[in-house]
Amino acid sequence: VDTSLIPQGQAHLDDLTKPRGSLGRLEEVALRLYLISGGSKPSVDPARIFTIAGDHGVAAEGVSLFPQEVSRQMVLNFANGGAGINVLARTAGIGLSVVDAGTVGGTYPEHPALIQRKVRPGTDNLAVGPAMSVEDCTRALELGIDLANMAADEGCRAVGTGDMGIANTTPSTALFCAYLGLDPEKITGPGTGLAADGLRRKIEVIRRGLAANQTAVTSGDPLRILAALGGLEIAALSGLIIGAAGRRMAVAVDGFISTAAYVSAWKLCPAVADYCFLSHASAEPGYASIMQALKADPLLHLGLRLGEGTGAAMALFVMRSAAAIFNEMATFSGAGVCKA
């Protein structure tokens, strides 16, 4: 973004009928959206959330409370409008597309809300080797870029990221460790609800995965790391973020898994940072350390840990409110209000 626009955006915010800075983070968001819009009216509407699903070979290690078939069942639940993200996207007036990037099993029945672009049916077990080849990872990234272009062509001004994939906090945690140099012990959490022994096992699985993929990790090559430790939905979300930034759309990054996709995208293409808004502080206990490492502070603190894009839906409402403040409030002179 063109940071030379900051003074003029800030001057506009300071001329609105409110004490300077009194709308806090709404003003910060408004200014960033103004930069993203290149100095014209900031907006996030229309917005579309992509909830992208993929399965994980590492589920075989017993790192999740839910069986793997739940990924597929949830894709159908998304298509039928019954999941948390359906409700929250609807409530916020945001479009939703469900994408199969790589769940286990064959194709789904045709459904207007479901985009079937399976790269492959699930990844391999990252605990024993690379989750996928660099080629498959690239195809998943390209899928995400396609989705961004689809949204941009539709006229979207913002996208939200959402994930579904049983066991996907495990690859996400591994990616945070590899990209940010964090310790699995410190940032591994219970996901959908592991007890202490399950958590212990999950930490060991991630350690094994980092060791089994040491060549990729130490290469520092973000694409090789994403292929070795990521997932198909995570890579597709990274592509979505890169593609959205390329088309100058704002991105509401959902929680733990989407943040792993964001970090991957940022390592691949640092310019995406200007376009991304971290939605909410995931209740996963490692999230705070990750935010520290990123020097970031998400918009919402609602204790969410569902994924699917639920935090992105809520954050897009905050971003919409921020844009409206910038565009619709009266100025001191216009409203005849004395300045301090």
Task: By CB under 8 A, tell whether 288 contacts its own copies.
Answer: no
Among left, alpha and beta (phi > 0; psi -120 to 50; other), residue 254 is: beta
Write down the least CB distance from residue 146 to its own copies, Å: 28
DSSP letters, 143-204, are HHHHHHHHHHHTT-SEEEEEEE-TTTHHHHHHHHHHHH---HHHH---TTT--HHHHHHHHH
Nearer to its own copies, 118 or 305 (CB): 305
Angle, helix 232-246 to helix 169-180, in steps of 10 degrees: 60
Alpha-carbon span 41 to 33, nearest angstrom = 9
Write down the least CB distance from residue 28 to its own copies, Å: 8
Write down the least CB distance from residue 207 to its own copies, Å: 24
Alpha-carbon span 84 to 306, nearest angstrom = 8
Total residues at interface with its own copies (CB under 8 A)? 59
Task: By CB under 8 A, tell whether 317 contacts its own copies.
Answer: yes
Chosen residue from 134, 273, 283, 291 binding its own copies by CB under 8 A:
283
Q: Per-residue x/- marks for its own copies, 85-114, CB under 8 A?
A: -xxx-xxx----------------------
Chosen residue from 2, 20, 211, 333 binding its own copies by CB under 8 A:
20
Task: By CB under 8 A, tell whether 139 contacts its own copies.
Answer: no
Reading the block at residue 38, the tokens are: 């290149």
Catalytic site residue 233?
no
Q: Per-residue x/- marks for its own copies, 243-282, CB under 8 A?
A: ----------------------------------------
Q: Which segment (15-23, 174-182, 240-248, 266-274) binds its own copies by CB under 8 A?
A: 15-23
Residue partners of 272: CB distance under 8 A and separation at least 6: 241, 242, 245, 251, 262, 265, 266
Q: Is 241 helix (H, G, I), strand (E, B) or coil?
A: helix
Alpha-carbon span 186 to 178, nearest angstrom = 13
Angle value at C-alpha 316, between 17 and 176, nearest 5 degrees: 120
Chosen residue from 154, 219, 330, 333 binding its own copies by CB under 8 A:
330
Bridge partner list, 114: 98
Residue numbers at the binding site for its own copies (CB under 8 A): 16-26, 65-67, 69-70, 73-74, 76-77, 80, 82-84, 86-88, 90-92, 192-193, 283, 299-306, 310, 313-314, 317-318, 320-321, 324-325, 328-330, 334-338, 340
**Which of the residues are catalytic?**
308
